[in-house]
Amino acid sequence: MSNKPSKPIMLFDCKTSQNVIGQDKFLNAFKAILNHGAYCQGPETKELDDKLAAFSGTKYCSTCGSGTDALTLALMAWDVKPGDAVFVSSFTFVASAEAPVLLGATPIFVDSDPNTFNMDPKDLQRAIDEVKKEGKLNLKAVIPVDIFGSPCDYDEIIKIAHANGMKVLSDSCQSYGSIYKGKRSCSIADMSATSFYPTKPLGCYGDGGAVFTNNNEENELVKSCRVHGMSPADHYDNVRLGITGRLNSFQGAVLLQKLTVFEQELKERVRVAKRYDNELDSYFGKQKVLDNCQSAYGLYTIYCEDRDELMAYLKDNGIPCGAYYPRPVNTQTAYTKWNTRSLPVCEKLSKTVLSIPMTPYLDNEDLDYIIQTMNTFAASKKSKAA
Ligand SMILES: *Cc1c(COP(=O)(O)O)cnc(C)c1O
C-alpha cells in the first residue's frame, strides 16, 4: 500500500506554474504595465489576441473580461434577442445558459450522452423538432459545451444546427487546448468562447476570457460590444448596446507567461489522465473522449452509484474531490421557468459523477496514493456485492 504523500494533494493547482515559469517574469511584466499605464486592453492583451488566434488556428481572437462575457459577446454579435430559441447543454456550469437568458432569449435545455457527458445530438434533434412544432420561437443558435475539457460531437451538432438555419457557439470554457479531429479547441464551431478563470486549463490570476471566429464582421461586432457598442470610427458614438467586457493588461501579461508552459502542461494532464484511465478499477465509469480527439482535462471525472459515500471516503483520506455538477442547470431555481423537457441522463449524471484531482503537477507518489485509495474502495464494494 502506498503511503499518503507528505504534501497536500490538490484538486486544482493554480500556483505551481509560477515556480516553473519564475515569479520574477510575472513581476517584471507587471512593472512594465505600471510604467506604461495602459491598464485595460493594453499592449499585452493585443499581443495575447494574436498568440491565442495562432495557437487555436483561427483568424481572430478577442480577449475579454470572462468566459461569461465571451459567451454573451458572441451571442450579441449574432443579435440574439427575445423570441429566439437557444439550445444549450444542461449538464454544465450555469453560465452556458445564463448568457442567452441575459439577452432575453429562451434556453432550450438538451440532454447529454451518458458516455461523453456532452450534448447528445439525437436529443438536440428532438428538441429542435419540439420547438418547430410549437412554432413560437425563432431557431437561433446551439451552445454545446466541452464538459471537463472533452470535445463534443461537433460534426453531428454542426450538421443538425446548420440544417435548421442555426449557428453553433462552442462553450470551450473548460477545454482550451483540447483537440477535435486534428483541430484545436475554439477553431471548430462558427464561434467559440473560452474562460481564463484560474482553475481552467489556461488560467490567469483573476477573471478573463476570449471569443474566437474566422469571420471578420463577427469579430468587429464582438470588439464593439466589448466596449459598450462603440463605433470604430467615432468613439463617442455608441451604435449598439454593449457591455464593459475588456480584459485588463495584468491578466493579459499573466496569460502571456502561462502560454509559455501551456503545451507542456497539457501533456502533463494527459499523462495524469492516462494513469487514471489505465489503473482505476472498472468499478468507476470514466468519461469517454471521442475517437481522434484529445481532452484538455479541465477536470478528470468518473461516475459510480455510491458517489456521495466515495466523496466522503476520499475526503477522509486527504484526497480533495468535487461533484460537478450536483444539479443540471434546468433544475436550478432561477431556471425552473425553462425546465420544460425531461433530461434523464443529466439527472443521472448529477447524482453519480465525481471529479478527482487533475493538475499538471501531480507526481507518481500522489497518483499511486489516489489510485490505490480509490481501488480499495472499489474492492470493498465489489466484495460486499459478491
Ligand atoms: C467557467 C465556465 C464558464 C464561465 O466562465 P467565467 O470566466 O467564470 O465567466 C462558462 N461555461 C463553462 C462550461 C465554464 O466552465
Decide: 195 in ligand 1 pocket, CB within 6 A: yes
Residue 145 Cα to ligand 1 middle (Å): 10
Q: Is the CB of 95 under 6 A from ligand 1?
A: yes
Distance 67 CA to ligand 1 centre (A): 5
172 lines ligand 1 (CB under 6 A): no
Q: How far is the CA of 319 from the centre of ligand 1 (A)?
A: 25
82-106 residue pLDDT tens:
999 999 999 999 999 999 999 999 9
Indicate if the pLDDT at residue 1 is higher than 70: no
pLDDT number for residue 386: 77
Q: What is the mean pLDDT of the chain?
A: 97
Residue type, 269: R
Cα pseudo-dihedral 173, 178, 179, 185, rounded to 10: 30
CA of 173 from ligand 1 middle (Å) equals 5
Q: CB burial class (10 A; 0-12, 13-18, 19+) of residue 221?
A: buried
Rounded to an integer, what distance in angstroms lies between the CA atom of residue 235 and that of residue 244?
14
Chain segment 106-164, per-residue pLDDT in tens: 999 999 999 999 999 999 999 999 999 999 999 999 999 999 999 999 999 999 999 99
**Residues 273, 269: Cα–Cα separation, whole Å:** 6
Tens of pLDDT, residues 214-232 = 999 999 999 999 999 999 8
Q: Is the pLDDT of residue 384 over 90?
A: no
Query: Tens digits of per-residue pLDDT, 317-376?
Result: 999 999 999 999 999 999 999 999 999 999 999 999 999 999 999 999 999 999 999 999
User: Ligand 1 pocket, 207 CB below 6 A?
Assistant: yes
E strands of 73-137, at which residues? 84-89, 106-110
